[in-house]
Chains A and B, each alone.
Chain A
Amino acid sequence: MTTRLTTSIRVAGRGMNRRTLLRGLVGGSLVALALPPLEAMLNSNGTALANGTPLPRRMITWFFGNGCALKDVNNLDAGLRFAPNGQGANYDVTPQLAPLQTAGVLDYCHVLSGFDIKAASEHRRGHHDGCTFFSGHPFIELPADGANYSSKFGGPTIDQVAANAIGGQTFLPSIQLQVSKRIVGSEGPTLQYLSHKGPDQPLPQTANPQDAWTKLFASFTAEDDPATPHRLAALDAVREDAKALQMRVGSADQQRLEAHLESVAQIRSQIAALAPMCTTPGLPGETNGDIDGNEPIVAVNNVMCDLLALAFSCDITRIASIQFTGSVGYTVFNELGLNMGHHDMTHDALRNDDVDAATIYTMERFAYLLAALRNTPEGADNLLDSACVLLGSDAAAGLTHSTYDQPCIVAGRGGGVLKYPGIHYRSPTSENASNILLSVLQTVCPEATEAGGTLGYSNTPVTQIMA
């Protein structure tokens, strides 16, 4: 932790006003956490901090469950209703992509088609295998032996690889948000959660915007709280207890306690940090409760996106994941006049058009996120210029459960790492989908050379979308 903070201390040494710093007592000495990049700290062009430090880069993974509609339910080879026909820049706008054009963010979007999720081929089980897209590691199938089927992720999701590398520079290493509550929890963390630090560390997401607000904007310790040093001392004693216990247990539990210790260190640094000097939004009124049995999807999506844009702007975190709908999720798109759970609908050939309508609705919500980022200026640019947003699902289509050609968009300029305007690239060779993960990772960790593992391993980014 202390090492990671060194860079920020150097930043702090450039004659900044102390009040612009996130300061706190970490390991017994005063250090500064990363700065919110206020206008005052930018260079005259607004393209970097005054000291030359580049503007922060951000990453979001964005998930919707159960895939898209098929072009023709009687001809599976015809593919999905999603990607354009043409390739390269200025691709044709399919109905599914039209919401991005309407929101004015289509230029920021790379559409990637024809990729194959190589990590999905070790164990086959519908949806579980498609979810491996976000980590590039084959999932772990728990032996059932007469109990319920369950699986967990085989390795960290790409957002957590990034959080592990750069999360220490902000108050929260990452945040996990959720929109629809109709998710499946009975088959283990693979279907239930989008972000995973590792097989035994799924990161539950927050579905209530008020809770998200508290996490992002109301969890700071008051500067003069006399309890703070003693809370920290208690955590230090907890650390000693955990280390002593590590000596008594087997290797698997030693690793779990190691994760426990890392979590204690993270909370310790959060308690020690002071509040950032930026505008804090008021507590949102939205709580994501059902209204007459219906989910307030649009309202929740909008407030979550707005909170996230503000959190990025304040540099409270740089990494986020948003589970819009769940894997095998049973969201009902009641605003479209539908009354079936989404998963059931995607497994019913006669509902193909309804599935398509749900996809378009989903893309409207995704477009809102991109627009919220694009509408938030940062220096000469905006947050979407600094961000990379990865959209994906858990199957190409519910009817096929295919993990080839799943819907995928990489949006944002990634701080200039990604090409602009965006292109449609269709892989002619069923490339490994982990290549996409590596490209996304390189927007925030330029030094990264690999993503995924075993069957899903990649050391070759999708150069076609890289600037």
Chain B
Amino acid sequence: MSRVRHISLDLILILIPAIAGCQGGGQAATFGESFDDEAADADADGGLDEGAYAEPRLRILLGRQYVAAVGDLLGPQAAQVASVRADVALNGFDAIGAAQIALTSQDIDIYEQSAGAVAAAALATPGALDAYRSCVPQEPGDLECMRSFTAAFGSLAWRRTLDESELTRWSEVGVTAALDFGEFDKGVEFVIAGMLQSPNFLYQVEIGEPDLDNPTLRRLTGPEVATRMSFFLLDTTPSRELLDAAAAGELDTVEGVRAWAESMVLDPRARFAFDNFFEEVLYLRKLDETAKDVGTYPGWSPYLADSMRVETIALVDDVIWIEDGDYRDILTADYTFVNEALASHYGIAYPGGTGFQKVTLPPGEKRGGIFGHASLLSLLAHVSSTSPTLRGKFVQERMMCTSIPPPPPGVVTDLPSGAEYKTMRERLAGHQDQELCASCHSIMDPPGLGLENYDGVGRFRTMENGVVIDTKSDLDGEPFDGAAELGGLLRERSKFSLCTILNLYRHATGHVEQPGEIDRLIAVDESFIAAEYRFKSALVELVASKAFRFVGEQDQ
């Protein structure tokens, strides 16, 4: 299929920084503004010159999705004994790795053993399989009854109806085992264990079909939309009701998809799904492997690190799900959530009670929003010092979707140290003096230098090596000082809301958006803005957009 690629001049300009480096008056930093110029022309349902869609790829269920799917199919006892392969991240997302990485023998070994344990647990749990049983076996090798079970379990586990050869193949596995053991349910056990190892379960399979209204376009089939929606919004396999709706054609229209998405974001599981998303986007998962030098930072412990993770998730969760507020409040909130350990870490009074309690931020520390959280400040730091570069890179790369090219080859990446360099700002000054380094470090270091009042574990400080730290800095030229002001600047940047949509899209579809897809995502961002940055509405708008419901063809 050939289609005119819609690549505007603006988009070409956007792509230049990623290719050519940061040179050119901070072009990398103007990336999002260029998107905004495009937005005026964007049309949610696309025009005739619609940009090309990306090739869909088989996507391995993420570890957490695999476990949740097992639980939904076979009950919590089964989920408890499930084991998972390690997700592999590419471009910062496990979902992108899941669309490119091939399963190794180690993965298959894990799946094989997990499936056996899961099936045995389901068989041992009364009632766990009732939904799939519609007949009483007349003998251990009752083929008809085995076919009935296989069809019922398979259609839910594989998110689609089985064809005749699949039904025959898998009921034979069941009957052979049932006859060998003299017990029908032994056959059922091997059917379950086997079908959970099938690529039809382990991957989200998205092939699509020609759109009847516009045969040059390719839309996901109803069951494929149901599957993509459910794993994205709820981190689990689609329910029987959603699959039935898909079979009835309800997901063939944008109205139908929107209606289902609106109800799914109210499902409590959506909260957990996006807790997971934010743990990935904000790198919070790294906290459980973040090491600190206990000499420099006494009191650092796995428990404290995990408390930090919970604090940030609690704030995001509060803004999105409890307050249903402006998503950008995560950047500026003047309150947070602490347990006793964190309260002591921050040096603030714990209000009493148990667990995490809502507290107002202490005055005089310039805190506000997630950039003042010990979580980000700790994981974006070194073992025994801060790292303004890591902190600034995070702001640019993860919050504004600005790619930072690698340091040029042959550059000695040494930071000066010694008695004459008291502060990190002095040590990093060389980045700004050397032209080769300055092109990127001039956008990376300053956002971090403005956070130097927070040490490598997020505690407030005003001095470093006996010298008062100068924390006046800038974000791409706009001045700020401290976490709250940085958050305040970022929340007004259009790049921030667009980058939120892009990150959601990368996670939802397992690929970095391609140039042809940008207009559709800008349109989603516009709807997000129009909804006053309600995160739930971003989810619904993204799912309802053609960006989510349509695909390209697989390259042969």
List the interface of chain A (C-beta within 8 A of B).
Answer: 73, 76, 124-126, 128, 142-150, 152, 173, 181-182, 185-186, 188-189, 192, 197-198, 200-204, 219, 226-227, 229-231, 233-235, 237-238, 240-242, 244-245, 248-253, 255-257, 259-260, 262-264, 266-267, 270-271, 290, 292-293, 295, 330, 332, 339-341, 344, 347-350, 398-401
Contact = CB atoms under 8 A, between A and B. Distances in A.
Nearest to B554: A250
A230 B414 contact: no
A200 B413 CA distance: 31
Point out which of B283, B295, B408, B554 has the most chain A C-beta atoms below 10 A from its C-beta: B554
A188 B289 contact: no
Interface string B152-195: 00000000000001100110110011001100000000100110
A181 B289 contact: yes
Contacts, number: 247
A145 B109 contact: no
Contacts of A398: 413
A234 B91 contact: no
* Cβ-closest 5 pairs across A and B: A250-B554, A234-B194, A148-B92, A259-B102, A339-B293
B57 interface: yes
Contact of B108 (A126, A233, A260): A260
Contact of A340 (B92, B205, B382): B382
B105 A263 contact: yes
A295 B499 CA distance: 37
B58 interface: yes
Interface of B: 14-15, 18, 31, 55, 57-58, 86, 88-93, 96, 100-109, 112, 116, 165-166, 169-170, 172-173, 176-177, 180-181, 190, 193-194, 197-200, 205, 207, 283, 286, 289, 291-296, 300-302, 382-385, 397-398, 401-409, 411-418, 499, 502, 506, 512-514, 553-556
A256 B102 contact: yes
Given A147-B91, A400-B412, A267 B198 contact: no
Contacts of B57: 250, 252-253
Contact of A264 (B55, B108, B302): B108
Contacts of A203: 104, 106
Contacts of B107: 263
Contact of A399 (B104, B116, B414): B414
Nearest to A344: B382
Given A152-B90, A230-B177, A253-B58, A267 B101 contact: no
A152 B165 CA distance: 38
A144 B173 contact: no
Contact of A341 (B116, B383, B412, B554): B383
A50 to B, nearest CB: 32
B113 to A, nearest CB: 9
Given A237-B170, A251-B555, A340-B384, A185 B300 contact: no
B112 A235 contact: yes
Contacts of B385: 344
> Most chain-B Cβ atoms within 10 A of its Cβ — which of A203, A219, A263?
A263
B294 A293 contact: yes
6 contacts: A182-B289, A233-B190, A350-B417, A350-B418, A399-B414, A401-B413
Nearest to B107: A263
A401 B165 CA distance: 56
Given A252-B555, A263-B107, 16 more contacts: A73-B414, A144-B91, A145-B513, A185-B89, A188-B90, A189-B101, A203-B106, A230-B180, A245-B58, A253-B57, A253-B58, A271-B112, A293-B292, A293-B300, A344-B385, A350-B417
A147 B401 contact: yes
A363 B382 CA distance: 25
Given A201-B101, A241-B166, A339-B383, A230 B190 contact: yes
Nearest to B285: A185
Contacts of B554: 249-253
A126 B413 contact: yes
A292 B411 CA distance: 37
Given A250-B554, A266-B108, A400-B412, A146 B31 contact: yes
Contact of B199 (A181, A231, A245, A266): A245
Nearest to A144: B403
A233 B177 contact: yes
Contacts of A125: 406
